[in-house]
Structures are given as structure tokens and as C-alpha cells.
Amino acid sequence: MTEMQSVRSCLAILLAAGEGTRMKSQRPKVLHEVGGRPLLGHALAALAEAGADSVVVVVGPDRPEVAQAAQSLLPGVQIALQNERRGTAHAALAAREALARGYDDVIIAFADTPLVRSETFGMLRAALAEGAAVAALGFEARDPTGYGRFVLRESSLDAIVEHKDATPEQRAITLCNAGLMALDGRQALSLLEAIGNANAQAEFYLTDAVAVARSRGLAMRALEAPESEVQGVNDRIQLASAEAEFQRRKRLSVMAGGATLTAPETVFFSHDTQIGRDVLIEPHVVFGPGVSVADGAVIHAFSHLEGAEVGPAATVGPYGRLRPGARLAEKAKVGNFVEIKSAEIGAGAKVSHLTYIGDATVGADANIGAGTITCNYDGFFKYRTTIGAGAFVGSNSSLVAPVTIGAGAIVGSGSVVTEDVAADALALGRGRQIAKEGWAKGFREAALARKAAAQKP
């Protein structure tokens, strides 16, 4: 947000009342996710970053979950109801009460256009500050078929002409309407109220604000953003396209911030993934929501992280899984086919392979052997395991929580530990080995004899 924008007041109206039938989903379209965040959430975040003082989300009467999600995603957001779906201008007027309060800038945006940057909304606001009554956002279309065209006069916006109404000359124009618009707050309500519905669909279209402004001799501006930024989401194919563009941006941002992605196109991030400097991320890694990776860490191939913190110079994988609540301290190691959930792995501790550590604390420099399991759930409640600093847990051990392994203690391989182990003690919880001389030879001979007898006619 620029200094100018911080001085000027701003109302944002976010249209989210569309039915989204092409998604073929029980879930409202704007609650489908890109980068682990609802489409609605991306738009709200960008508007907030652009300095909107007040945000009104316009929802349909049959989608209370959209209103609930909006209030959860951006506390303080206002909800307006569009009882009848009669076009985009009609939807914007659902925020009439907020419009009447008087703002310097009014932004009208769409909840199903999740990739618009806050800087682009700022560009629209800047045009208003420079004297425009209407600032409309367009894009250079690879294929303009079906889009409204921006008709310019001496570099100013003169009209937005729908494809079906365009002349052959106008159809040759490739600067197309993205739908987003900003209005001078002093004129916004009057402009919207003046829009009619004399069209085949009998709907009130936001684009007609341009014709109203022109008839009043008001200044208008056409601004441009990349087509990839203003793409809307109406079906699953477009949702995948938006996800791809989000991931492309995020990968570039992570690498520009000082991390190495050896195969960027195979790594997938969430909207809130935080990656430090000198981090190495190998191929086929997925970051779910709520992950932070500190400087110098290594995430090996085919790992999946969600709700986890990876400390400086720690390593994960290959084929590691960090679930919510996993926290790795500096130089901790989580190896291949290891799952960590709601557990802290101390500095320098090693959980190298084929292990599950859940609801636990592992002290610094402890070593957890292959096949170890913290038995944390009895079918009703979860219990915690505490492993002290420098402890050594042998392979294929089961630690039945609640239980504490003291600092420096050793648990013998194959043990089932049900009681606390004192510091520096040795714990063995397994059956005593018995050896019977010659038993195996006799077993084989008897078995072979039975098999031969069974094969006789």
C-alpha cells in the first residue's frame, strides 16, 4: 500500500453470489481452493493488502457457508445479500448502505478471480487518485473470442463493447475486459444506480458504468494486467489452471528468496508456506498449509509436510511425512518412511527410518531406531511419550504411552516399554530367547516326509 493509498479511504465490494453450476459441486465455487486457500480467501487477502478500509462480500441467499467463510477469513468483513441474481451492477448495489457512507475509492472485484495481486488493485486506486471516475482493468487476450473489448480514444477508455455487439473492427481488438473496476467514491452510487437493464438478459451490467460515465463527461482509464493474473474460475479445468499459475508464482518467489528447487515443476506449495535461505528442496515435495522451513534445511524427495516447523539445517526424507504439530529443532533428522505428528524432535536428534513418532517429545541428540512406534492412542484418548536427551531407542521398539525414557537411557531392540525408564538405565521388554539344538533339522525332515506322502497316488 502506497502513502497515497493510506491517506485515501477505500471500500472494496467483493462479488461472491454466483451459483457456480459449472463446477458440478455441492461446495460453493468460491470455497474451492488454490494453494490450500479458498478462492474467496485469495481475493480478500489481496484487497486487504491493497488498503481497503472496509470490505463488503456480496453473497447469495442460499449460501450461508460463503458468508461464514468470509467472516472467518477476514474478521470485520461485512456481508450483503443479493436475493435475486440480476447482474454484476445489481450485485454491487447490494452494498448500497456501504456505498452511501462515502469513500474516496471503491473497488469492485470478483471472488472467483483469485490471482489478482494487491499491486493491481493499488494501480486501480492510483488511477482514481489521478482524477479518473472509472478505472477498468483489461488484459491482452491470446484469444479474445467471447470477451468484451476495450475501445480506446486517445489512450483513454471510451467504451466496453461485448463480443456479440462488436463490429468487425472492434472484434479485432485484443485488449479485453477483465471485469474488475474501480469507481470514484463520490460518484460510485450514482453511476451504479444509473445503469439500466435494456438488454436481452434484462440484467444490470457493471460494464455499463463506462457508458454512464461517458454520458456525464467523466474521465475514464483503461489499465492492463497479464491474462494469467485475471483468469477467472468457472469449472474444474480453470481451477487447475489457476492452481498452476499460483504454483508457478510461488516457486519463483521461493527461489528468488534464496532456496534451491532442483525440479521446481514437481514441488507444490501452500499459500502460506515459508521457506528460508539456502534451503534445498528435492523433487516431488508437497507442502500443505502451515509449514515453515528455516535456513539451511534440506527436504529430500517425495516428502509431504503439513502444519510443521523445520528448524535450521534440519533434514526431512526422502519419503518423510510431517503432520500437524511436528516441530524439528536445529540439525534434527527425520529420515525415509518416518511419520511425525504432534511431536517435537530436539536439536541433533535422529529418527532415521521406518518409524512413527506421535504425541511425543524427543530430546536433543537422541537416536530412535528403525521400526520404533510411540503407541499414543488407546481407542479413546491420546497419551504422550517423552524421550530424554541423548537416549537411544533400539530398532523395532514399541513405547506405550504415557511413558518417559530418561536422558541417556537405552532401550533394547524389540522391546515393548510400558513403564518409565530412568536416566542412563537399560530397559529390555521382550521375551527371553530360547535355542533348541537340532530342532530345525528335525522339523524340515518331518515336513518333507509329510509332503512326499501327500504326493503319492
Residue at 75: amino acid letter: P
Q: The cell 483503461 sits on which residue? A: 222
Q: What percent of the chain has pLDDT over 90?
A: 91
CA separation for the pair 215, 375 (Å, rounded): 74
| Tens of pLDDT, residues 356-370 | 999 999 999 999 999
Distances, alpha carbon 281 to alpha carbons 80, 245, 301, in Å: 44, 20, 7
Q: Are strands 426-427 and 410-411 parallel, antiparallel or unpaired?
A: parallel
CA separation for the pair 269, 442 (Å, rounded): 60
pLDDT-derived band at 4, boundaries 50, 70, 90: low
Q: What is residue 270's predicted lDDT score, i.e. its pLDDT?
A: 98
Q: What is residue 8's predicted lDDT score, i.e. its pLDDT?
A: 96
Q: Are strands 37-38 and 33-34 parallel, antiparallel or unpaired?
A: antiparallel
Helix ranges (DSSP H) in 23-150: 39-49, 64-73, 88-92, 96-101, 118-129
CA separation for the pair 123, 181 (Å, rounded): 11
CA separation for the pair 328, 334 (Å, rounded): 8
How many angstroms from the chain centroid is the CA of residue 98?
Answer: 30
pLDDT-derived band at 198, boundaries 50, 70, 90: confident
For the beta carbon of residue 152, count every other beta carbon within 10 angstroms: 15
pLDDT-derived band at 19, boundaries 50, 70, 90: confident
Please choose, from the candidates 5, 144, 16, the residue with its C-alpha nearest in 3D space to the C-alpha of residue 88.
16
CA separation for the pair 120, 107 (Å, rounded): 11
CA separation for the pair 352, 358 (Å, rounded): 15
C-alpha cell at 175: 485488449
Average pLDDT of the segment spanning 80-85: 92
Task: Give, rounded to a whole angstrom, the gap between the first and last alpha carbons of the chain.
Answer: 92
Please, what is the average pLDDT of the chain?
95
Average pLDDT of the segment spanning 66-77: 96
CA separation for the pair 287, 279 (Å, rounded): 14
**Cα angle 70, 72, 75; round to 5:** 90
Q: Answer yes or no: are the C-beta atoms of 46 and 121 closer than 8 Å.
A: yes
| Tens of pLDDT, residues 158-197 | 999 989 889 999 999 999 999 999 999 999 999 999 999 9
Q: Which helix (H) or strand (E) holds 168?
A: helix 168-171
C-alpha cell at 387: 524421550
| 39-49 and 118-129 helices, crossing angle to 10° | 40
Q: Answer yes or no: are the C-beta atoms of 316 and 322 closer than 8 Å.
A: yes
Q: Answer yes or no: are the C-beta atoms of 318 and 312 closer than 8 Å.
A: no
| Tens of pLDDT, residues 118-137 | 999 999 999 999 999 999 99
How many angstroms from the chain centroid is the CA of residue 244?
Answer: 12
Residue at 436: amino acid letter: K
Please choose, from the candidates 90, 100, 57, 80, the residue with its C-alpha nearest in 3D space to the C-alpha of residue 189.
100
Q: What is residue 2's predicted lDDT score, i.e. its pLDDT?
A: 65
304 is catalytic: no
CA separation for the pair 203, 301 (Å, rounded): 53
Q: So what CATH class is 236-427?
A: mainly beta
Please choose, from the candidates 103, 100, 89, the residue with its C-alpha nearest in 3D space to the C-alpha of residue 9.
103
Average pLDDT of the segment spanning 249-270: 98
Q: Answer yes or no: are the C-beta atoms of 34 and 243 closer than 8 Å.
A: yes
Q: Answer yes or no: are the C-beta atoms of 379 and 399 closer than 8 Å.
A: no
Q: Which helix (H) or strand (E) holds 439?
A: helix 439-455
Q: What is residue 440's predicted lDDT score, i.e. its pLDDT?
A: 94
Q: So what CATH class is 3-224?
A: alpha beta
Which is higher by pLDDT, 7 or 252? 252
| Tens of pLDDT, residues 367-382 | 999 999 999 999 999 9
Q: Where are the domains positioned within the chain?
A: 3-224, 236-427
Q: What percent of the chain has pLDDT over 70?
A: 99
| 64-73 and 39-49 helices, crossing angle to 10° | 40
CA separation for the pair 121, 262 (Å, rounded): 34
Q: What's the predicted TM-score (pTM) here?
A: 0.91
**Cα angle 54, 56, 61; round to 5:** 160
Q: Are strands 350-362 and 385-387 parallel, antiparallel or unpaired?
A: parallel
pLDDT score of 3 more than 70: no
DSSP string covering 139-162, please?
EE-SS-TTSPEEEEETTEEEEEE-
Residue 176 — left, alpha, or beta (φ > 0 → left; ψ -120 to 50 → alpha)?
A: beta
Q: What is residue 134's predicted lDDT score, i.e. its pLDDT?
A: 97
| Tens of pLDDT, residues 411-454 | 999 999 999 999 999 999 988 889 999 999 999 999 999 999 99
pLDDT score of 1 more than 70: no
Q: Answer yes or no: are the C-beta atoms of 269 and 251 closer than 8 Å.
A: yes
State whether the Cα torsion 124-128-134-140 is positive or negative.
negative
Q: What is residue 11's predicted lDDT score, i.e. its pLDDT?
A: 98
